[in-house]
């Protein structure tokens, strides 16, 4: 396993409490004065602001139909991030489906919230979510910013602290007091929705490009086999392991070789050197940081604990292509545009050189045929990870130079556009965080 991530608490905020204010408090300790006293009489509760709060759906099946639901894992710092299924499946119209201006809130603490933008697909949230409606765009964005702010989240923690499993429900959210929204929020809300919708457009564009790459792969590749189906296998097609999935993988790769799919071995960089001495702190890219769309969230700076030899000596390079060795859930990252900060890598990432068409290779790694090979080749840690020798045997499609250049060029264009949108959203997040800090009378 890579070095563990230690718990790093954020510096405590502060606020000035006047003598007149503190004289009426039931407690004088700093945590209470900073985080709990904020629920003062001048704040209105969500219920008095006209908000309607409901539970998410407990079942994916409604009237015989299978629904695609939103989960808290689809919340990214205030934005709803649908996956490919949300974007490709037609939503079932229901009173429980989300609409523009809704706020989705995770029940588990600390809370996470996301604002539903106008272009967000109209699927319903699941039972781990609460849905807040009726606030209007400005107040909905304000509520989202509050719930995602570390200081305000401590106030919410107090509301759900009496439960065996720390979480909040409809009643706690209805009784939650909210500071008055600041001046200038309507313009900020309009820009936020515009940026969130542009991010969705970029995701749809990338999904379409991935589907195009999949269609190209399907033109030459045979269908992936079912290891559980009985089949007669000649002795020459038996690998060293007689496990059904290993036999199916060996035979499938032989078929891919006949249609001139090449092995991944030429693209794998030589076994990278490892760190042999500690580094005081840094950003370590973990598998969970990969977003599933060729990108990743920039990790926080942390103290990196031993064993340091599990880290590569050279940090992530500009334009570098990464493939996770977690075969059960493979992830692909293309560092384009390059990350703004230095990022270290553990040996759970394989480093590849895609050459002048790295974008095309990144798309090839996401095809169904390659993903099936990665999953079937996993052997380490209870059939989860792929050893380097088996990774090199995975076969990828070979496209003509014109197709490869076209896919590469379009992939980089989409990633460049996405980077611009993310910078815009980060700027808006910083503005909202400053507004929340002012309202709570604490440092941002």
pLDDT of residue 410 exceeding 70: yes
Q: Are 209 and 407 in contact (CB under 8 A)?
A: yes
Domain check: are 188 and 229 in the same one? Answer: no
pLDDT of residue 4 exceeding 60: no
pLDDT interval class at 443 (50, 70, 90)? very low
d(CA 166, CA 406): 50
Structure tokens at 25: 């408090």
> Over the stretch 166-213, which tens digit does the pLDDT of each residue have?
788 898 898 888 898 898 899 999 999 999 999 999 999 999 999 999
pLDDT of residue 377 exceeding 60: yes
Domain check: are 246 and 357 in the same one? Answer: yes
CATH code, domain carrying 220: 3.90.220.20
Domain check: are 213 and 233 in the same one? Answer: yes
> Over the stretch 301-353, which tens digit does the pLDDT of each residue have?
998 888 878 899 999 999 999 999 988 889 999 999 999 999 999 989 999 99
Please indicate, yes or no, if residue 136 is contained in any of the structural domains: yes
Q: Residues 150-163: what's their mean pLDDT?
A: 75
pLDDT of residue 293 exceeding 70: yes
d(CA 40, CA 441): 13
Domain check: are 249 and 397 in the same one? Answer: yes
Q: What is the residue whose two structure tokens read 């997040």?
A: 429
pLDDT of residue 425 exceeding 90: yes
Please indicate, yes or no, if residue 35 is contained in any of the structural domains: no
The SS3 call for residue 215 is: helix
Domain check: are 396 and 418 in the same one? Answer: no
**Domain hosting residue 182, numbered range:** 46-201+402-444
Please indicate, yes or no, if residue 374 is contained in any of the structural domains: yes
Domain check: are 191 and 213 in the same one? Answer: no
Please indicate, yes or no, if residue 395 is contained in any of the structural domains: yes
pLDDT interval class at 387 (50, 70, 90)? confident
Helix, strand and coil percent figures for the chain, each rounded to 5:
40, 15, 45
Domain check: are 408 and 396 in the same one? Answer: no
Domain check: are 406 and 333 in the same one? Answer: no
Please indicate, yes or no, if residue 417 is contained in any of the structural domains: yes
pLDDT of residue 47 exceeding 90: no
Domains contained in the chain, number: 2
Residue scoring higher pLDDT (427 or 304): 427
Please indicate, yes or no, if residue 411 is contained in any of the structural domains: yes
Please indicate, yes or no, if residue 31 is contained in any of the structural domains: no
Kindly report the length of the chain. 444
What DSSP designation does 335 have? -
Lowest-confidence range among 23-27, 297-301, 392-396?
Answer: 23-27
pLDDT of residue 11 exceeding 60: no
Please indicate, yes or no, if residue 84 is contained in any of the structural domains: yes
Domain check: are 243 and 193 in the same one? Answer: no
Structure tokens at 317: 């390079």
Question: pTM above the 0.85 mark?
Answer: no
CATH code, domain carrying 180: 3.90.220
Q: Is 61 exposed, middle or buried (0-12, 13-18, 19+ CB in 10 A)?
A: exposed
Q: What is the mean pLDDT of the chain?
A: 85
pLDDT of residue 1 exceeding 60: no
Domain check: are 166 and 243 in the same one? Answer: no
359-381 burial by CB neighbour count: b if 16+ within 10 A, else e? Answer: bbbbbbbbbebbbbbbbbbbbee
Domain check: are 135 and 276 in the same one? Answer: no
d(CA 392, CA 386): 10
Domain check: are 82 and 143 in the same one? Answer: yes
d(CA 66, CA 60): 6
């Amino acid at each position: 396993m890579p070095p563990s991530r230690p718990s790093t608490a954020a510096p405590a905020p502060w606020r000035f409490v006047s003598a007149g204010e503190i004289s009426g408090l039931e407690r004088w300790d700093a945590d209470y004065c900073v985080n709990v006293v904020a629920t003062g009489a001048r704040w209105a509760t969500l219920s008095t602001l006209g908000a309607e709060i409901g539970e998410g759906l407990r079942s994916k099946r409604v009237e015989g139909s299978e629904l695609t639901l939103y989960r808290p894992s689809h919340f990214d710092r205030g934005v709803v991030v649908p996956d490919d299924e949300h974007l490709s499946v037609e939503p079932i119209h229901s009173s429980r489906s989300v609409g523009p201006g809704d706020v989705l809130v995770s029940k588990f603490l600390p809370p996470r919230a996301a604002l539903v933008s106008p272009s967000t697909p109209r699927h319903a949230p699941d039972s781990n979510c609460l849905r807040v409606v009726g606030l209007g765009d400005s107040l909905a964005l304000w509520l989202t910013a509050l719930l995602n702010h570390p200081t305000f989240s401590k106030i919410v923690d107090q509301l759900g602290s009496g439960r065996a499993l720390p979480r909040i429900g409809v009643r706690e959210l209805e009784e939650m007091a909210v500071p008055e929204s600041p001046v200038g929020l309507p313009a900020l809300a309009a820009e936020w929705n515009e940026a969130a919708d542009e991010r969705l457009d970029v995701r749809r564009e990338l999904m379409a490009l991935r589907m195009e790459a999949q269609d190209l792969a399907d033109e030459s590749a045979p269908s992936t086999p079912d290891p559980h189906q009985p089949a007669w296998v000649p002795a020459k097609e038996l690998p060293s392991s007689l496990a059904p999935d290993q036999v199916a993988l060996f035979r499938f790769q032989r078929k891919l070789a006949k249609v001139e799919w090449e092995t991944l071995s030429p693209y794998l960089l030589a076994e990278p050197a490892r760190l042999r001495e500690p580094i005081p702190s840094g950003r370590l890219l973990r598998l969970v940081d990969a977003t599933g769309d060729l990108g990743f969230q920039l990790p926080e700076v942390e103290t990196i604990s031993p064993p340091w030899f599990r880290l590569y000596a050279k940090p992530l390079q500009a334009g570098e292509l990464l493939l996770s060795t977690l075969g059960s859930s493979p992830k692909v990252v293309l560092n384009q545009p390059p990350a703004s900060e230095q990022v270290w890598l553990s040996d759970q990432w394989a480093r590849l050189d895609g050459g002048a068409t790295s974008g095309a290779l990144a798309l090839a790694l996401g095809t169904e045929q390659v993903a099936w090979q990665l999953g079937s080749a996993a052997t380490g840690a209870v059939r989860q990870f792929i050893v380097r020798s088996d990774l090199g045997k995975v076969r990828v499609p070979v496209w003509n130079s014109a197709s490869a250049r076209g896919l590469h060029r379009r992939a980089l264009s989409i990633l460049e556009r996405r980077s611009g949108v993310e910078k815009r959203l980060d700027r808006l997040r910083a503005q909202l965080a400053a507004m929340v800090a002012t309202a709570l009378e604490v440092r941002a």
